[in-house]
Amino acid sequence: MSEETDGAARRRRVEGEIRALLNDRRLDGIVRTLESHFPGNPQLAEDAVLEAVARLIQQIERNDVTHVVTYIQKVATNYIKKELTRLAQLGGVDSLSITPSKTTTTG
The predicted structure's pLDDT at residue 24: 94
Closest CA to 52 of 69, 35, 28, 66: 69
| CA dihedral sign of residues 24, 66, 58, 39 | positive
**CA 29 to CA 32: how far, in whole Å?**
5
Longest distance between any two alpha carbons in the chain, whole Å: 54
Per-residue pLDDT at 79: 97
Tell me: the pLDDT tens digits for 36-85? 999 988 999 999 999 999 999 999 888 888 899 999 999 999 999 999 99
C-alpha dist (Å) from residue 80 to 5, 17, 51, 97: 35, 23, 10, 14
